[in-house]
Structure 1
């Protein structure tokens, strides 16, 4: 990349992205350990389906009220108050936002706990003809839903810390959810008649711990919120105005995944769990790299916009797109080729059997096809939110959601009828809709002359594709037959998979280096 090659981004973005990426990697590795434990303890049976639905509901809404729509609306306003109003104005804004956000979510949580069967019927209508499964889902929702309140307040704290350049603390906070669920499954579950309840209480405990963990760091900045209900504050009104459309724009992929869960509840038992395990693996590169870069560019883009630095705004977006593709493209190819070996190595123990792994591998490949789109959405959407343009992503988001619904019908029905793979149709529809979303975001930024391709793309893209092709050929050459993996113990599986990952990753990086790509070419300018 002697020229990935144009001006990259604002100062310190690569370094900050690396910090967030490393911390997120720690969390994601523990997340894999968590999912391995869950697969061994509850597998992919009816009770597992019930827990995953109850866990997904607050997790989905978290993406809206915590690091999703709320963060995208809050960070630009906070940056504006810092730029123009000073620390006193920031503290006043923070107190009011904490009061309104906390009060609203407390009311929503109380209503949901009281009306848990209605919520279960809304999000998993396919469970209605299975009374025991439906009742368990409703009971689990009563325990897991308060996590939304706790994690949203944690997200508020994290957004403030990110805005002040403290990226490591919010990035490492999710570790506590994984540790809590691992502890719940291995230590607490034997004491419960229904192990799924131990996991639900593990989710609740994690919310408490994550919030308490961040408060001392806010206190150190003298920004510990003193919640006050005040919907008349101009900053609160501005955030609410920006947040309502952002609920659609920034969370389209999550809405699509939730629609998958609703539709999967009508499919054969195990479908929700197969989608969960495959989605978790597909989200690994997205969480470690896509979200890490999106997290650090939003404050930078917001500051550039407030200071009218249009050229640096454009360079930052282009830098982010090229950087995520360096990870997204090889990650897509690796998951397509190694879907079954990865799932066998990580999950085929205890309650999760060979059929479950085979079914999850199909949906993993379908999700993998969308990784580039998912990551591009994460870095392109901040280009709108930093400019406080929430309307355009809303329009794009609605079009993508409608397309996803249509594609669900087109893909699920034939795959279910002829191949008994309805859940794969759900994953494939989500990936295709994500590409539509990403293309429309890119086109909108181009049309407004906010984002332009750097000339470096002419050399960057062939180098990226060449390195990925070399990785693919080497992995195909070294891979043992798929049937052999199931007969090995976990040590042999782990060793073989590690060798493939190291060899493939090494080939990819070596070819990039030979082609002229250097890590220093991605550094931010001084």
Structure 2
């Protein structure tokens, strides 16, 4: 529920930003600056660190109990905090050079105002890296102890701060977009403080200790190196998209951002939420040496992702322009930006199911502390993404960047499954294949009904916001009802989705 609230509120946040600031210009500068601590956060915290830390924490918890967990937390928090302080300081000092590296298009086109604004914003949001990465450490501990609600709800605070500062703080700053940078800084501290009472109740709130010889820290570091390479690959892909988009026409960065954010709503609610539950469960089943339960958990996760993710992908593709127009077409957002964003949303939607499958297949390796295979796959995916980017960006512009991301995601998901089948004897059996066919048929029925209800294209440009909301809400409700009626008619029942 916390993940759903966070994602929905995140969409509201993007609507507010689009309404107040529009697309292009200062929004491009803020989005690029904010991507940098987010990129590093996913490397040092939610990505590589969590994938290395959670299996080790589960092992320590089983073998040494609470005292072992407290000792590991004391030492790992000291080391992580030290590295984060170092990286944050470097970001602040080297901000002008970082801006040129991540947005060469601004420099290439001679837009020195936008480049200077990006530099100033990088300096303001850099401390967010420290706060949110330490928050991710706390969240990993809470997840290991079965407390998923607090970490899932924590991102709500970021969205609340961004909405508040965008609405009430934009008039306090010059340029107004700097209000969002201050909001990011405030939100980072608020999220870290929010999780501390839960750690205290678990009795794992400890004072950091710096040691060069702690076995747990060394084991996490050893596992983190290949995981860092794997996670950095996907993040480099996203940053490469941003770099290339900065070389295109003004607004391209914003168009990709708005469409990507809309595609991330189902990804976060479905894929990331399931993955958050799956990794600790798989780690525990691996520690118990229960290979049958390990494979059964993976199979359940795939069925749940297909059941929820496939109709979401189909709906995003078919309703891309109505959704973008209804959500973003007001205030400073013009209809040309709506059309451009809807095109890239269609491309992203083609890879949405693949991204969800990656989120549940990769923990099959991380839970066994096996990092090399997903790293190799991720590197090949990155290379493919770069090739697709260079092939498609000339002809399809920003849409080609989104399509390249989708194609490389399908390669990543397919390769992960192939190696799980080889190493863990995990098969997509007849029951899962039959389940997939029924879901596909139900999606076809849903799209058929939406085709009958969809208004003419001119409707979304000429009608009021109220008419657009009414039309989209009606189609979404009908689509959901038709889909669930169809899956029931094709024989899918609740017990097919139970773990």
TM-score w.r.t. the length of structure 1 is 0.93
Aligned to 2:341: 360
Are 1:49 and 2:33 an aligned pair?
Answer: no
Which aligned pairs between 1:323-342 and structure 2 lie closer than 5 A? Answer: 323-342=304-323
Shift of 1:148: 0.9
- Which of the residues 321, 332, 345 maps onto 2:326? 345
- Specify the alignment match of 1:466 in structure 2: 441
Structure 1 residues 304-313 or 241-250, which shifts more? Answer: 241-250
Q: In 2, distance between residues paired with 1:520 and 1:168?
A: 24
1:213-245 Cα offsets, whole Å, 9 max, x none, are 000000000011312222421111111111111
Does the alignment pair 1:404 with 2:385?
Answer: yes
Once the two structures are superposed, residues 431-453 of structure 1 have per-residue CA deviations (whole angstroms, 9 ceiling, x without a partner) of 10111111111111111034222
Partner of 1:183: 164
Which residue in 2 is equivalent to 1:195? 176
Aligned with residue 276 of structure 2, among 286, 295, 314: 295
Structure 1 counterpart of 2:7: 28
Return 5+ residue gaps in structure 1 as ranges: 1-21, 416-421
Pairwise CA distance, 1:495: 1.2
Deviations 1:471-521 (A, max 9, x none): 000011111112102222222211111110010111111111122212232
Cα shift at 1:320: 0.6
Q: Residue in 2 aligned with 1:130? A: 111
Q: Give the structure 2 partner of residue 486 of structure 1.
A: 461
Q: What corresponds to 2:431 in structure 1?
A: 456
Q: Which residue of 2 aligns with 1:518?
A: 493
Instruction: Measure, in 1, the Cα distance between the counterparts of 2:232 and 2:439.
Output: 29
Match of 2:61 among 54, 64, 82: 82
SS of structure 1 residue aligned to 2:50 = helix
CA distance in 1, matches of 2:282, 2:433: 25
Sort the Cα spacing of 1:505 and 1:231 in 2 relative to 1 into closer, same or farther, 3 A.
farther
Structure 2 residue aligned with 1:382: 363
What is the RMSD computed on CA atoms of the aligned residues?
1.1
Distance in 2 between the 1:398 and 1:225 partners? 37
2:145 to 145, 154, 164: 164
Deviations 1:35-54 (A, max 9, x none): 00000111112111000001
Deviations 1:25-69 (A, max 9, x none): 111111111000000111112111000001111112222222211
Where 1:268 maps in the other structure, the secondary structure is: coil
* CA distance in 2: counterparts of 1:489 and 1:251, whole angstroms: 43
Report the 3-state secondary structure (helix = DSSP H, G, I; strand = E; otherwise coil) of the residue aligned with 2:362. helix
Q: 1:112 — aligned with what?
A: 91
| 2:217 counterpart residue number | 236
Residues 152-197 of structure 1 deviation map (CA, whole Å, 9 limit, x = unaligned): 0000000000000000000000000000000010011111121111
| Residues in 1 aligned to 2:375 and 2:334: alpha-carbon distance in whole angstroms | 41
From the superposition, tell whether residues 358 and 458 of structure 1 become closer, same or farther in structure 2 (CA, over 3 Å).
closer
Deviation, structure 1 residue 248: 2.9
Tell me how many residue pairs correspond in the alignment: 497
**Offset of residue 249 of structure 1:** 2.2
Q: Aligned in 2, Cα 1:79/1:508: closer, same or farther, shift over 3 Å? A: same
Aligned to 1:475: 450
Contact 1:253–1:374 at 8 Å: present in 2 too?
A: no
Q: Does 1:285 align with 2:285?
A: no
After TM superposition, list the pairs within 5 Å mapping 1:310-325 onto structure 2. Answer: 310-325=291-306
**Structure 2 unaligned residues grouped into runs of 5+:** none
Give, in whole Å, the separation in 1 of the partners of 2:86 and 2:366. Answer: 28
Give CA deviations for 1:256-299 in whole Å, capped at 9, x if unaligned: 11110111111111000000000001111110010001000101
Question: Are 1:432 and 2:407 counterparts?
Answer: yes
Contact 2:18 2:332 in 1 (8 A): yes
Alignment partner of 1:444 is 2:419: yes
Give the C-alpha shift of residue 414 in structure 1. 2.2
Q: Counterpart of 1:10?
A: none
- The higher relative CO (CA closer than 8 Å, separation ≥ 6) is in 1
Residue in 1 that maps onto 2:476: 501
CA separation of 1:231/1:437 partners in 2, compared to 1, >3 Å: closer, same or farther?
farther
1:271 aligns with 2:271: no
- Which residue of 66, 69, 78 maps to 2:45? 66
Moved more, 458-467 or 224-233: 224-233
Q: Is the Cα–Cα contact under 8 Å of residues 24 and 252 in structure 2 kept in the other structure?
A: no
Cα distance in structure 2, aligned partners of 1:297 and 1:431: 23
| Corresponding residue SS for 1:292 | helix
| Distance in 2, Cα, partners of 1:249 & 1:376 | 16
- 2-side partners of 1:225 and 1:371: how far apart? 40
Report if the CA contact (8 A) 1:253-1:434 is conserved: no
* CA displacement at 1:251 relative to structure 2: 5.0
Instruction: Tell me by how many angstroms 1:360 deviates.
Output: 0.5
**Counterpart Cα distance in 2 of 1:445 and 1:521:** 23
Tell me, yes or no, if the aligned pair for 1:153 and 1:211 is still in contact at 8 Å.
yes
- Check if 1:92 corresponds to 2:71: yes
**Is the Cα–Cα contact under 8 Å of residues 306 and 436 in structure 2 kept in the other structure?**
no
Q: Contact (CA 8 Å) 1:98, 1:225: kept in 2 or not?
A: no
Please give the alpha-carbon distance, in whole angstroms, between the structure 2 residues aligned to 1:410 and 1:274.
Answer: 20
Greater shift in the superposed pair: 375-384 or 452-461: 452-461
Provide Cα deviations, 1:57-112, integer angstroms capped at 9, x if missing partner: 11122222222111111100000001111110110001111110011001110111
Tell which deviates more after alignment, 422-431 or 511-520. 511-520
